Chains A and B, each alone.
Chain A
Amino acid sequence: MSSKLSGRRGFLKNGATLIGLAAGAGVVPAAGAQMASPSETPHDDAALIAYGQRSRYVKSIRIPVMERMSPDDFGMTFHVTSPLQDSVGIITASSLHYIATHRGSYLPDINPEEHRLMIHGMVDRPLIFTVEDIKRLPFVTRTHFLECSGNRARPSHKTVQESHGMTSCCEWTGVPLSLLLKEAGVQSGASFIVSEGAETVKGSTSVPLGKAMDDCLVCYGQNGEAVRPQHGFPLRLLVPGFEGIYNTKYLRRIKVVDQFYMTYNDYGHITTDSRVAALNRQIGPKSVITFPSGSQKLPGPGLFEITGLAWSGSAAIRGVDISTDGGQSWKPAELRSPAYPMAHTRFGFHWKWDGTESVIMSRSTDELGTAQPTRAEAANYWNKPNDKNFNVPGTDNTVFPWRVAADGSVHNGLA
């Protein structure tokens, strides 16, 4: 069998060579390189048949945040950014999804057959589920983004991966948390749940019961396969639109309680102002241009397609406006993807660049009618001067500018 295969492959290879020779012989000189069939990709047949991989010419990779290298001195992965500058569509490949571990934890190696999820506390019937139990229940599949509260553009950032790379969007499959909570029977007087992971530090977070009963999911599927270990295998909580740390990975326990529990993760977000607490919890309408973006270069004046991503933690994206003159005038972009609630939405905008220095920016509006603020608007709200030191309170969803220089090079507009 294998000799037959190799014989056939040898024939195909020879055929390719013949065609290549014919093309190279000057029949169609200009198109020769494209007419020739490419040589065979070097690979391990069995491995590639079992599980595919991208072309070796595609180099797009994740990069740890500068503030704390990963792996760090303790061998832990901290925060790792997704290469948004190379993104297309709205789905982030699981292998390129940003990673965040709030207080540092080693990547757990969990056998799904041994994993359990317990629901207890203020419920009529405490329950323990296996992963197989969870998969027996009615499921839903939804597209949602996740974003880390540390996803904050700074003047020092060179690329969109550095300035905005801690957001990603996947298709998630799982059981509504409300179904599990109803199965357990939530008692009156309950107001929060505390979710907890199975990793070494057993990260836990308080989630308002209203949100838990609304649209949260206990997920086992991500982009058509099992949730990846870096994203919570075998079960992870998804709290759509809430800041990343609410979305507990390796979910092992949900305790229904009667107050905010001030866990270590909760404590990491404490503030003296309830407005900041609200802005830290839910992600605002936000957007960023991914092309052209920092460190990319336009070859010269002409027509280009400005594209990027928009998302909101409150609702679906209704529209995106683009400015190519530093915010003096705005024109609507086209939504080039479905606009799902709490999901990345892809926009596009034809731009005829005249070769002069231009500042380009995007501004999104969600279905609630809430628009993404500019830094000036945010500074005005907090009565702070709008200078480079202004640190937007809560998660930063302000409009972000790219400066396209006359030579076509693209730079951080905050710098």
Chain B
Amino acid sequence: MGASTMDSRKLLLIVMILGLCQIAKAQSPTYGVGRTPTAEEIRAWDIVIGPDGKELPPGHGTAAEGAKLFVVKSCFGCHGQTGSGGPAPTLIKSDGKTKNPYPCLSPCVNDSNVMALRAPYATTMWDYINRAMPLTKQGTLKPDEVYALTAFLLYKNGVIQEDEVMDAQSLPKVKMPNRDHVALAPEWKHGTPRLQSYP
């Protein structure tokens, strides 16, 4: 009886040790291929800005500064003098009186869906201006300039006041007009139809 108890304890111990080995195995790399990036490499590459804005760099900008940059950086060349009426997507909702002479390129961005009014988070605007603009000169805008251009577009579309300063703290807090009108897809699960009950 006593021996049998000892055996059970020994067995339990072995099982526990094996279990710990399994955890240790799961937590260490199997192949050891690749190298560890430096903190500086991660900082330089990490340009994606989430809705809470925690990746936003230091800096600040206002609509007035952005208005100047809209000219200096030649944004108007593709997006139109007033932020509409150009061959590229409309950035500022127009007064509706002037017809855009250009065909609205697919995906069509016009008065009905300008980004400042449709995006649920201002961070998406900052992120895209920073990563993708100006065309052929991507990556040349400084953080202050991206804050200023974002502030300019938000102000001209009536989302913020002219004197509001956009920075890493204020930008994620901007109450976007479309913030509460966006639905995300339900959690994805392996081996399930894309939408239950859809014919």
**Which residues does A use to contact B, with CB under 8 Å?**
65, 67-68, 72-74, 78-79, 102-103, 118, 120, 124-129, 133, 136-137, 150, 179, 182-185, 194, 196, 200-202, 204, 208, 210-211, 214-215, 252-253, 255, 257, 259-264, 266-268, 270-284, 313-315, 368, 370-371, 373, 377-378, 380-381, 394
Interface string of B19-60 (1 = CB under 8 A from A): 000000011011101111100011001111011100000000
B183, A272: Cβ atoms closer than 8 Å: yes
A381, B27: Cβ atoms closer than 8 Å: no
B33, A283: Cβ atoms closer than 8 Å: no
A278, B51: Cβ atoms closer than 8 Å: no
In the bound complex, residues from chain B placing their C-beta under 8 Å from that of A184 are: 29
Chain A CB within 8 A of B67 CB: no
A313, B194: Cβ atoms closer than 8 Å: yes
Number of chain B interface residues as a range: 35 or more
The chain B residue with its CB closest to the CB of A134 is: B33
The chain B residue with its CB closest to the CB of A127 is: B34
A196, B48: Cβ atoms closer than 8 Å: yes
How distant is the Cα of A267 from the Cα of B107 in the complex, in angstroms? 12
A270, B182: Cβ atoms closer than 8 Å: yes
How distant is the Cα of A118 from the Cα of B39 in the complex, in angstroms? 12
The chain B residue with its CB closest to the CB of A191 is: B187
In the bound complex, residues from chain A placing their C-beta under 8 Å from that of B78 are: 74
Chain A CB within 8 A of B123 CB: yes
In the bound complex, residues from chain B placing their C-beta under 8 Å from that of A129 are: 33-34
The chain A residue with its CB closest to the CB of B87 is: A73
In the bound complex, residues from chain A placing their C-beta under 8 Å from that of B135 are: 74, 200
Chain A CB within 8 A of B98 CB: no
Number of A-B contacts (CB under 8 A): 177
Binds A, one of B8-16, B126-134, B149-157, B160-168: B126-134
How distant is the Cα of A202 from the Cα of B49 in the complex, in angstroms? 13
**4 smallest A-B Cβ distances: which pairs?**
A282-B194, A277-B185, A201-B132, A67-B106
A214, B41: Cβ atoms closer than 8 Å: no
In the bound complex, residues from chain B placing their C-beta under 8 Å from that of A73 are: 87, 105
The chain B residue with its CB closest to the CB of A185 is: B27
Chain A CB within 8 A of B5 CB: no
Given contacts A125-B36, A127-B35, A264-B127, contact A378 B185 (CB under 8 A): no
The chain B residue with its CB closest to the CB of A284 is: B194
Given contacts A201-B138, A264-B127, contact A183 B34 (CB under 8 A): yes
A274, B105: Cβ atoms closer than 8 Å: no
In the bound complex, residues from chain A placing their C-beta under 8 Å from that of B194 are: 278-279, 281-284, 313-314
How distant is the Cα of A118 from the Cα of B41 in the complex, in angstroms? 9
In the bound complex, residues from chain B placing their C-beta under 8 Å from that of A370 are: 193
Given contacts A128-B36, A133-B33, contact A208 B131 (CB under 8 A): no
Given contacts A210-B190, A259-B50, contact A279 B42 (CB under 8 A): no
In the bound complex, residues from chain A placing their C-beta under 8 Å from that of B128 are: 264
The chain B residue with its CB closest to the CB of A264 is: B128
The chain A residue with its CB closest to the CB of B105 is: A68
In the bound complex, residues from chain B placing their C-beta under 8 Å from that of A279 are: 194-195, 198
Chain A CB within 8 A of B99 CB: no
How distant is the Cα of A88 from the Cα of B198 in the complex, in angstroms? 31
In the bound complex, residues from chain A placing their C-beta under 8 Å from that of B50 are: 257, 259, 261-262
Closest Cβ of chain B to A37, distance in Å, is 50
A381, B29: Cβ atoms closer than 8 Å: no
How distant is the Cα of A271 from the Cα of B195 in the complex, in angstroms? 15
Chain A CB within 8 A of B101 CB: no
The chain A residue with its CB closest to the CB of B121 is: A262
In the bound complex, residues from chain A placing their C-beta under 8 Å from that of B118 are: 267, 270
A127, B31: Cβ atoms closer than 8 Å: no
B182, A120: Cβ atoms closer than 8 Å: no
B120 in complex: contacting residue of A118, A120, A179, A262, CB < 8 Å: A262
How distant is the Cα of A252 from the Cα of B135 in the complex, in angstroms? 20
Chain A CB within 8 A of B181 CB: yes
B185, A278: Cβ atoms closer than 8 Å: yes
In the bound complex, residues from chain A placing their C-beta under 8 Å from that of B199 are: 371, 373, 377-378, 380-381
B186, A368: Cβ atoms closer than 8 Å: no
B34, A128: Cβ atoms closer than 8 Å: yes
How distant is the Cα of A118 from the Cα of B46 in the complex, in angstroms? 10
A194 in complex: contacting residue of B26, B34, B48, B88, CB < 8 Å: B48
In the bound complex, residues from chain A placing their C-beta under 8 Å from that of B138 are: 200-202
Chain A CB within 8 A of B124 CB: yes
How distant is the Cα of A208 from the Cα of B185 in the complex, in angstroms? 10
The chain B residue with its CB closest to the CB of A204 is: B48
How distant is the Cα of A188 from the Cα of B75 in the complex, in angstroms? 42
